[in-house]
Amino acid sequence: MAMKRIWISILLTALLLILQTFPSAAQQRSWRPTVMSMRGMVASGHPLASEAGLRILKEGGNAIDAAIAAWLVQGQVEPGMTGLGADMYILIYLAKTKEVKFINGSGPAPMAATLDFYKSKGGMPLEGALSVEVPGAVDGALLALKRYGSKSLAQVMAPAIEIAEQGFPVSDTLAGELRSDREKLGKFPSTTKIWFRNGEPLKAGDVVVNRDLARTLRTIITGGSDAFYRGSIAKTTIDYLKSNGGIHTASDWANFRAHEDEPIAINYKGIDVYECPPNSQGHVMLQALNILEGFNLREMGHNSAPYLHVITEALKLSFADRNAYNGDPKFVPPIPMKELLSKKYAAARRALINPDRAIEGEPPPGDPRRMTSLNKQTYSAPQSAPVVVNAWDESRELGLTTYLAVVDKDRNMVSITSSILSVFGSGMVVDGAGYFLNNRMAYFSLDPKDPNVVAPGKRTRQTINPALAVKDGKPYIVFGTPGADTQPQTQLQFFLNVVEFRMGVQQALEVPAVISNSFRGSYYPQRVIGRLITPAMLPKDVQEGLAARGHKLDVRNSRGVGSVKAIMIHPLTNVLMGGVSPTGDSYVMGW
């Protein structure tokens, strides 16, 4: 009898765990299936990148090897988002030691990038040589492989070199991006040489061969980071920048090193959620989770007006703190990160959320050292819900970066966000080297009081912030997204869809999500737009409920939760479950 009671208890516990983790039968089925596998999984922004990572896993590589292989392919098939000229943040969960590691592969401004210089130019440019910072991704990727990979650099780079030499077909998504950025790209002959044909941007189905990039990759295999930052590739790049009016010098590149740092984390209802420390905005999502932990979100109901209201307000309060305190830690006063992520401070910020009124514009920042909020905010008057639905351009709003997630057979997890910032970055392909350069300088401020004001050798505040979570001491979920200031917003809503509303991974990525811009944005000149981007597919009564609370709605024909990709690990069976938002060329593969 006692044994029977034990077995009943075990079965009930297992059933409860399943119900807490997965959607009920009554929930709507997702458009795409949740991909499930046992041995390994890759979720990325393009099928060929996911296939490259999967190939490395099948050849015996670990998650770190596969992630870097996938990223190297992303730089070709998603050239508007990432590549050798990008920045990169990497979060790694090591299954053997149960440690989380963080690698910062973000580069600095050149030493000639003074405040007075850019003021004399009329601001921070969005394209061209003066928009380029030293790219940090290559050294970040090589550091990750050196410390945590298992394959040789030649093995990891093989899929990317194969694609560069043999070619790949332009997708509909990439063709649309090339067409939209025709004017910017057309200014640089080294760019049109690869990405135009007969004076026109490449079209869907055209094949791209990039032998210059293949040679660059082979040079990195033999020369490592030194070749890229201190050798022939650096010389080629710096000469190209100078010939186009740039201010980079050999020492700007030679002095750069990616580095490992401590990740930041909070515990949300028993789940340890990890993010990237400054100069990343990773704390924004964590602060918002702390604030929201004090509300009964399930009782409000998923995507109800009260729910979306508190989501939006928590994020606005967190972004206000980002703008007040976050910058390159080497240049700004000590950032009170411990205090910003404390539950006590979250309670002080939570107290400013009026359930019936939205805070007008960007809220004042709090004082985390004193655990207080400045009660100087104003609240919006009720608004009318708009009847016009505006167009939604995924590349403009959510492109701007790319993301990938990998989990291997040992359940190591890797989360990588990398970016050349705007679509196609500076617009410049390095002549003879074959890769796009970023326009990351466009994130700097020219306000001397701003912690993110431009300075020689300073790293700009980054919006890229890959995430992962651990539950009950086990790897739980790895997730992230492109999208500049939208990243912590859509990552947050995806996470809550899974944790609070028990959705399966793919369904959690397909439901609507809201995006606020009621805070100073990251792009120069850091304007406050003051709108809430609201999917037209949200019920009319929800839109009206948000407007009645004072939110100024910008209704768009958007779909899904940003461009989030995610892999979740079943807590009972250890099965991998992956999904991607229905955007661009995003794809997940497992084996």
- Mean pLDDT in residue range 333-353: 97
The predicted structure's pLDDT at residue 575? 98
Does residue 356 register a pLDDT over 70? yes
The predicted structure's pLDDT at residue 397? 65
Does residue 325 register a pLDDT over 60? yes
Does residue 444 register a pLDDT over 80? yes
This prediction has a pTM of: 0.94
Residue 428: CA atoms inside 13 Å, Cβ hemisphere, count? Answer: 27
Q: What is the pLDDT of residues 250-287, one digit of tens each?
A: 999 999 999 999 999 999 999 999 999 999 999 999 99
Q: What is the pLDDT of residues 420-440, one digit of tens each?
A: 999 999 999 999 999 999 999
Position 23 confidence tier, pLDDT thresholds 50, 70, 90:
very low
Other residues' Cβ atoms within 10 Å of the Cβ of residue 377: 17
Active site residues: 401
Three-class secondary structure of residue 243 per DSSP: helix
The predicted structure's pLDDT at residue 399? 55
The predicted structure's pLDDT at residue 463? 97
Position 176 confidence tier, pLDDT thresholds 50, 70, 90:
very high
Cα separation, 12 vs 8, whole angstroms: 6
The predicted structure's pLDDT at residue 373? 87
Residue positions counted in the chain: 591
Q: Which domains does the chain have, with CATH numbers?
A: 36-261+400-473 (no CATH), 264-369+379-393+486-565+573-590 (1.10.246.130)
The predicted structure's pLDDT at residue 562? 87
Cα separation, 523 vs 395, whole angstroms: 16
Q: What is the pLDDT of residues 46-76, one digit of tens each?
A: 999 999 999 999 999 999 999 999 999 999 9
Beta strands in 106-177 (DSSP E): 168-169
Does residue 407 register a pLDDT over 90? yes
Q: What is the pLDDT of residues 207-266, one digit of tens each?
A: 999 999 999 999 999 999 999 999 999 999 999 999 999 999 999 999 999 999 999 999
- Contact call for residues 325 and 339 (beta carbons, < 8 A): no
Does residue 1 register a pLDDT over 50? no
Measure the CA dihedral 353/356/361/367, to 10°.
-10
Does residue 518 register a pLDDT over 90? yes
The rounded mean pLDDT for the chain is 94
Residues 6+ apart with CB under 8 A from 558: 392, 397, 512, 533, 535, 536
Does residue 398 register a pLDDT over 80? no
Does residue 22 register a pLDDT over 50? no
Does residue 18 register a pLDDT over 50? no
Position 19 confidence tier, pLDDT thresholds 50, 70, 90:
very low
The predicted structure's pLDDT at residue 396? 65
Position 20 confidence tier, pLDDT thresholds 50, 70, 90:
very low
